[in-house]
Amino acid sequence: MVKISPSVLSADFCRLSAEVEDIRRGGAEYVHVDVMDGIFVPNISIGLPVVESLRKATDMFLDVHLMIDRPHRYVERFCAAGADLVTVHAEADQPQDLFACIETIKAQGKKVGMSVKPKTPAEVLLPYLPQLDLVLVMTVEPGFGGQRFMHDMLPKIERLRRFINEQNPGCELEVDGGVDPVTAPLCKQAGANVLVAGSAVFKHADRAEAIRAIRQA
């Protein structure tokens, strides 16, 4: 069964713990936390203190997506703040520092993910794939919620599903950006098993219904 990871980027930050409780009751498996630094992406969102607060507020799995430049500087602190999974971008660091990110995150007993932006080919992830717990395919340009799903990313999802099955079958394949009840079945068909959804969950009054609609679509 596919896992749903609602992105709190589209939640009401003034009532974040209630929002998270809402998606927990609605059956979501993960909480997706989008961290942006205004450099790797043209937007600034939330960071370490919010992850720490979320860790105190919930026992849900915290799926932390770092859209920050040179993430090796911060991965240890995001683990300590309470992330269960830390995902870094392949474009954001030098290869030796990406390998260092993987080592550091694993040494903290946490799961490690790596993400690619729409223009980055799937093959870029191959050197890291044997060590990854999750691969994240961006289906919008990272930086903002509420954008339209890029259908031309579907072949990349299929390609990564093939690489994962051949080289690291336990690795999860997550899709992020523009996922809703219309695009979710396309992602699943292409081989994704974790779906991030921001606006499709949090802009919907009934979160349980929104999650169900994405899962069952």
Catalytic residue ranges: 34, 176
Select the residue whose beta carbon is closest to Zn ion and give its number: 65
First to last CA, the chain: 12
- Of 6, 11, 63, 65, the residue at the interface with Zn ion (CB under 5 A) is 65
Distance CA 120, CA 138 (A): 10
Short-list 134, 145, 143, 135, CA closest to 179: 145
- Of 53, 58, 131, 147, the residue at the interface with ligand DX5 (CB under 6 A) is 147
Give the binding-site size for Zn ion (rule: CB under 5 A).
3
Decide: is 143 part of the binding site for ligand DX5 (CB under 6 A).
yes
Name the phi and psi angles at 87, rounded to 5: -110, 130
What DSSP string describes 90-144? TTSS-HHHHHHHHHHHHHTT-EEEEEE-TTS-GGGGTTTGGG-SEEEEESS-TT-
The piece of 16-24, 83-91, 140-148, 157-165 that touches ligand DX5 (CB under 6 A) is 140-148
Contact partner at residue 146 from Zn ion, ligand DX5, none, CB < 5 to 8 Å by partner kind = ligand DX5
Q: Which H, E and C letters describe 9-72, residue by residue?
A: HHCCHHHHHHHHHHHHHCCCCEEEEEEEECCCCCCECCCHHHHHHHHHHCCCEEEEEEECCCHH
Decide: is 191 part of the binding site for ligand DX5 (CB under 6 A).
no
Ranges within 22-61 binding ligand DX5 (CB under 6 A): 32, 34
Decide: is 135 part of the binding site for ligand DX5 (CB under 6 A).
no
Decide: is 34 part of the binding site for Zn ion (CB under 5 A).
yes
Ranges within 94-133 binding ligand DX5 (CB under 6 A): none
State in angstroms the smallest separation of the CB of 96 from Zn ion. Answer: 25
Binding site for ligand DX5 (CB under 6 A): 7, 9-10, 32, 34, 65, 140, 142-143, 145-147, 176-179, 196-200
